[in-house]
Amino acid sequence: MTTRRKIAAGNWKMNGLQQALTEVEALSAANPAPGCEVIICPPATLLRSMAKRCAEAAINVGGQDCHQNSAGAHTGDISAEMVADTGATHVIVGHSERRETYGETDALVRAKTTAAWGAGLTAIVCIGETLDQRESGATLDIVGGQLAGSIPDGASGENLVVAYEPVWAIGTGKIPTYGEIEEVHDFIRARLVRRFGDTTGNAVRVLYGGSMKPDNAAEIGALSNVDGGLVGGASLKAADFGKIVAGLS
């Protein structure tokens, strides 16, 4: 039986000015020795200062996106090397907000994942169905397709984390039933094992994301094949995120 260390990952999205960095100190003071891996993904403007502040704390820092190329004429973009250069160790790729707003395809997410690995970053690859897709019974087809299309060959338990985030659960306060979450996570695990073999397939952490809160984190974290959470809104305040970290520990 593989033991996978749980992860509490916070995705701050487009939130946080310099003063928000104090949340990291509060989090670390409240959870000095967390029983799970803690990752915070602030906006790019805070990556460097957060990575510096977190050097002594048990908190890893991640970007929210990266370009698929390592450098070049891509105004406004940030390469995986640049994310790594800030001291960050992780990067989210393929978040549904980017897939929806910028039309990011599985092929692009796959290229970004390759770029992340090339820069030595762990990629947190997001997948998940829309409400229409769930209601039409297509959830596993969609999730299976995104998983196959968004992850390059060469995955390992160290370089890849998968985040299952039902699009309709993000920022809405709605979550699937626990049975529905387990169904998808068991399916993702089976697909990872089928593609990458027992050792790698069982080592990759699969996070749940979408309205994870202090009052449901421990229960969701205890479900089969759920290895933690990718948390948006509730990660912004140390008081809430600290409870989620404790719930997942």
Closer residue to ligand PGA in complex, CB, 233/247: 233
Which residues inside 107-166 make contact with ligand PGA, applying CB under 6 A? 165
Among 64, 68, 211, 225, binds ligand PGA (CB under 6 A): 211
Q: Give the pair of three-digit tokens for residue 168.
A: 């309709």
Told to judge if 135 belongs to the known catalytic residues of this protein, a careful annotator would answer no
Assess 210 for contact with ligand PGA (CB under 6 A): yes
Q: Please pick, from the candidates 155, 230, 238, 245, the single residue that binds ligand PGA as defined by CB under 6 A.
A: 230
Candidates 233, 238, 240, 248: give the one binding ligand PGA (CB under 6 A).
233
Contact 83, 68 (CB under 8 A): no
β-strands 122-127, 60-63: how paired?
unpaired
Cβ contact 188:147 at 8 Å: yes
Measuring CA to CA, which residue among 91, 99, 98, 137 is closest to residue 117?
A: 91
According to DSSP, the residues that pair with 10 across neighbouring strands are 40, 231
Least distance from ligand PGA to the Cβ atom of residue 112, Å: 16
Instruction: Tell me, yes or no, if 165 is annotated catalytic.
Output: yes
10 counts as binding ligand PGA under rule CB under 6 A? no
Cα–Cα separations (whole angstroms), residue 106 to 152, 187, 214: 10, 19, 31
Q: Which of 52, 43, 26 is nearest to 243 (CA)?
A: 26
> Could you give phi then psi for residue 210, rounded to 5 degrees?
125, 95
- The residues that bridge with 61 in the sheet, in sequence order, are 40
Q: Which of 209, 228, 242, 247 binds ligand PGA (CB under 6 A)?
A: 209
Complex with ligand PGA: residue 155 or 175, whichever CB lies closer = 175
Please identify, using beta-carbon distances, which residue of 34 and 232 lies nearer to ligand PGA: 232
Chain positions contacting ligand PGA, by CB under 6 A: 11, 165, 170-171, 209-212, 230-234
